[in-house]
Structure 1
Amino acid sequence: MTRRITWTLLALTSVLLVLAVVPLAVSLTARERVAYRESQRAATRVIAAAAEEHLSDNKPPTVMRQELDGAARAGDCAAVYDPSGRVVASTPCTAARGEEAEELMEEVLDGDEPEPPENEGWLLAAEPAGEVRRPAGAVVLARSADPLESRIAAIWGWSAAIGVGGLAASALLSVRLARWVSRPLSTLDASARRLGEGVLDERADVGAGPPEVRRLAATFNTMAARTEALVHGHRAVIADVSHQLRTPLAALRLRLDVLATDAEGDTAAELGAAQEEIARLSRLVDGLLAVARAEQTTPRPTAVRVDEVVAERVAAWSPVAEERDVRLTAVSEEPALTVALGAGHLEQILDNLIANAVDAVSTGGSVTLDHRAAGGSVRVCVRDDGPGMTDEAKAVAFRRFGNPEARGTGLGLAIVHRLVTVNGGTAHLENTPGGGLTVVLDLPLWREIGHERGGTSRSLPVLKET
């Protein structure tokens, strides 16, 4: 924003300066030329008046000589011609007696109004001595153009200095103005980003910038305060629900266990069924709380080596897979890949996916994990050769209780989807070639710059999905 405001104001100032300074300089240049010419013609007329007294009235040339000497002292060159074009008197300088000067003199003697030419840095002017139609002679005066050029150069120099000064002042003011406006907006943008990343106590500075920006900052702070209150209230409700539901469920399960020790026959069977329902209800409560916590998670991205986490989780789940006669393997073509995820999130994601896959495949089946670079992300795939999912089931699999055929709580893939998307990744399901299901995760690559963000993350339980 600072650059845009600065360049816009500089462009506007440049246009205004060009429209104002250039015409003014042109006008002053033209006026200076006219004034210089008029001064030259006035000096020529003075000499012509003195020459007329000598040529037409036959007076002594004393006054004429004095005027010629004065012109010579002023740096001018002058020559007086009689009606036949012969030089009567002149200054020592010969600039007024050249070919162009003689052509100018002849036009004057013929009664014409000549256009004074410029001769090698000299400006020529000619005036008749006496009447214009029947002159008694002519006077040609040559004046150096250097003083005129110096004055014109000074005019354009001052005009350029004014333009440069105006641009410099405009640049300084525009930068100050742009920073005055943009800095509070940048601060507000950073505060909004940190709030979105989970720093709920973040507040914007309301004491800087234009009044509109200060009002926006105050409105943002009000919104942030309400958001913080709502989130904290939601977390308090989850904590209360966790305590209020788990405690009576645990007490109920203990009582059923006590009753089952002395029960026989049909009563024992009914109590066993009740215990299973209590266990299922406990898992359901745990799953709902896990999803709620996942939805509140706003991670601080850290550098996570995918190959190390995959190898660790495969090693952790291998005993379970061997117990069920399932082959669990990891394949990697590009081992040294690092993603930007919240601490512990990749472990939680893989735990849920491996648990689902191991539970879905039959004895002698296989589960394979692989990862590779895919553009600006890392693609992690978890493949199994189990029964897979129908297209309808895959379309709703990432929703809570979306899969009606799930053997567990139906919440595992919902947690996976939330953890992946909150970190800026994507997740989708594909059919495994030859039968089965493949979960495809595209996780953001880690970059050294841009990962100093605030946030919190929580550990979540593993929930079976398929």
Structure 2
Amino acid sequence: MTRRILLSHLSLILLVLLALEVPFGIFYARSELSRFSHTAQQGAMTLAEVCEDKMEHGLTADLPELARAYAQRTGSRVLVADHKGAVLADTGARLPVGRHLSDEPDISTGLRDQPAVSTRSDPSTTGGVLSVTVPGGSDATVACVVRTVYALDPLKAKVRATWLALAAVGLGVLAAVSLIGFALARSITRPVQALERATAQLAEGRISDPPATDHGPPELRRLAASFTRTATRLQHLLQAQQAFASEASHQLKTPLTSLRLRLENFEPHLAPCAQDSLDQALGELERLSRMVQGLLALARLENSAISPEAVDLNTVVADRAAIWAAFADEQQVDIIVSGATGVRVWAVPGAPEQIIDNLLSNALRVSPPGTAITLATVTRAREGTRTPPMTELHVIDQGPGMSEAERHRAFDRFWRAADADHDGTGLGLPMVRQLTHACGGEVALEAAPGGGLDAVVRLQPVESRPHGE
């Protein structure tokens, strides 16, 4: 977050600098060239007037010396031609005296009593040259033409130095803005990071390092104070719920056990016609006891934050199938174990046993005599997704099954199908879902082929993520 805030500030300042410095640099370069051109033109016009005066007084022989003196003083190359375009003096010694240049564009323009200013490339310099050609004469008569040529290397070096100075200023501004922006960003992100750490600690159950409420902008200070109050309230609620879950089991078991004993003591003294009522009362008491135990188990699950560990699913399935085999035999139901071997999954310790126990209990309750319950394990990738493969535990019965609407509601607490027996508490499947989610998996009810119900528990295989993640 600090990096993003800093980059946004630097991007904005960079755009501002470019919007200011680039136009200024271009304007400066053009103005310097215009000023230099104007100065060169004024000097050439002055030289042309002096040359005209020399020619009027018959001092044409003085023109080469005059041209050399002007060239040395201004650092230019000077050429003087007469009214016909013949060369009278050339400080560059490139053209012989007497050569006619009337066919050259700038000389021809000067002979028509018009100045000519242009820039062009030249082999003798890398930056090009500025050529200024002006007529020398009074009235409409042109007595001579003066051409001065200046190398543009010094001018371009000056402009380049200005660009470097602008770049240095821009870098300095960016460096200063970076320091200021980093300080401002840290003042904003430090409270946010403290809130992030406190949120992670709250998710684990306890805040050991609450966020400071006296750092950062006022909005973040108020947010930190509000978060601290909320977290403190949540901790108190969680502690109260944990205390209830731990104490209620001891407080409720004693009166329920006492009530059961008292009801059973009534049996020898009751008339035979009241025996059915006593049996129903004992059954309801047993159901109430199981419901209380289920609620307390769910409360403990919601309050616990145990990390999953690697578990051998085949061993757990075989163990639970062997334990439930005696109960299944009493109902003339077979338990069949199938699937791949050596399957290891991530699960909370003890959770797979409770999941299988609840699913087998539900399956035995609805399985008719002479049928079978299948416990099958398989690892497969989910279609249409790029997620890692999941290990599936199927508990398949051959009972009456459920409609689609009933399968969606089956995980609601205390919900039971309309045709279900009254011994259930409606907490078994909610407990299965809670345990599965604690293991990082998911559970679903599907229609089994040929009738019945297929309870599918999907868990992450050990190979799908690093140990301890």
Secondary structure at the aligned position of 1:135 is classed as coil
1:252-291, aligned counterparts within 5 Å? 252-255=259-262, 266=272, 269=275, 275-291=282-298
Tell me which residue corresponds to 1:430: 446
Tell me which residue corresponds to 2:45: 45
Tell me which residue corresponds to 1:19: 19
Q: Structure 2: any 5+ residue segments left out of the alignment?
A: 123-127
| Counterpart among 141, 148, 155 of residue 148 in structure 2 | 141
Equivalent pairs, count: 450
1:303-342, aligned counterparts within 5 Å? 303-322=310-329, 324-333=331-340, 335-336=342-343, 338-339=345-346, 341-342=347-348
Secondary structure at the aligned position of 1:403 is classed as coil
Tell me which residue corresponds to 1:411: 427
The residue type equivalent to 1:397 in the other structure is A
Change (3 A) 1:266 1:92: closer
What CA distance in whole angstroms lies between the structure 2 residues aligned with 1:449 and 1:14? Answer: 44
Alpha-carbon distance, 1:364 to partner? 3.5
Retained in 1: the 8 A contact 2:63–2:89? no
Identify which of structures 1 and 2 has the higher relative contact order when contacts are C-alpha pairs closer than 8 Å and 6+ apart.
1
Q: Structure 1: any 5+ residue segments left out of the alignment?
A: 453-466
Alpha-carbon distance, 1:222 to partner? 0.5
Normalised by the length of structure 2, the TM-score is 0.81
What CA distance in whole angstroms lies between the structure 2 residues aligned with 1:17 and 1:299? Answer: 56
Secondary structure at the aligned position of 2:113 is classed as coil
Aligned identity (percent) is 33
Secondary structure at the aligned position of 1:116 is classed as strand
Alpha-carbon distance, 1:237 to partner? 3.2
Alpha-carbon distance, 1:281 to partner? 3.1
Alpha-carbon distance, 1:61 to partner? 5.3
Deviations 1:135-155 (A, max 9, x none): 321211111122122223223
Change (3 A) 1:24 1:273: closer
Tell me which residue corresponds to 1:463: none
Tell me which residue corresponds to 2:256: 249
Tell me which residue corresponds to 2:226: 219
Change (3 A) 1:360 1:209: same
Change (3 A) 1:361 1:41: same
The residue type equivalent to 2:454 in the other structure is T
Retained in 2: the 8 A contact 1:109–1:134? no
What CA distance in whole angstroms lies between the structure 2 residues aligned with 1:444 and 1:103? Answer: 88
What CA distance in whole angstroms lies between the structure 1 residues aligned with 2:216 and 2:326? Answer: 62
Tell me which residue corresponds to 2:125: none
Retained in 1: the 8 A contact 2:116–2:134? no
| Counterpart among 400, 420, 430 of residue 413 in structure 2 | 400
1:231-242, aligned counterparts within 5 Å? 231-242=238-249
Normalised by the length of structure 1, the TM-score is 0.82
The residue type equivalent to 1:137 in the other structure is C
| Counterpart among 401, 408, 416 of residue 388 in structure 1 | 401
Alpha-carbon distance, 1:246 to partner? 1.4
What CA distance in whole angstroms lies between the structure 1 residues aligned with 2:7 and 2:90? Answer: 61
Alpha-carbon distance, 1:30 to partner? 0.2
| Counterpart among 110, 113, 129 of residue 111 in structure 1 | 113
Secondary structure at the aligned position of 1:331 is classed as strand
Change (3 A) 1:359 1:272: closer
Change (3 A) 1:35 1:304: farther
Retained in 2: the 8 A contact 1:334–1:372? no
Change (3 A) 1:134 1:335: farther
Deviations 1:166-213 (A, max 9, x none): 455555555554444334324423432442343466633445433322
Change (3 A) 1:84 1:397: closer
The residue type equivalent to 2:235 in the other structure is E
Change (3 A) 1:316 1:188: farther
Deviations 1:270-290 (A, max 9, x none): 766655554343223222322
What CA distance in whole angstroms lies between the structure 1 residues aligned with 2:287 and 2:308? Answer: 34
Secondary structure at the aligned position of 1:68 is classed as helix
The residue type equivalent to 2:76 in the other structure is D
Secondary structure at the aligned position of 1:356 is classed as helix
Secondary structure at the aligned position of 2:414 is classed as coil
What CA distance in whole angstroms lies between the structure 2 residues aligned with 1:304 and 1:291? Answer: 22
Secondary structure at the aligned position of 2:5 is classed as helix
| Counterpart among 349, 354, 357 of residue 348 in structure 1 | 354
| Counterpart among 343, 368, 392 of residue 362 in structure 1 | 368
Alpha-carbon distance, 1:28 to partner? 0.4
Secondary structure at the aligned position of 1:427 is classed as strand
Retained in 2: the 8 A contact 1:128–1:135? yes
Secondary structure at the aligned position of 1:105 is classed as helix
The residue type equivalent to 1:385 in the other structure is Q
Q: Which moved more, 1:399-408 or 1:306-315?
A: 306-315
Tell me which residue corresponds to 1:181: 188
Secondary structure at the aligned position of 1:367 is classed as strand
Change (3 A) 1:403 1:246: same
Considering only aligned residues, what root-mean-square deviation do their CA atoms show, in Å? 3.6
The residue type equivalent to 2:250 in the other structure is H
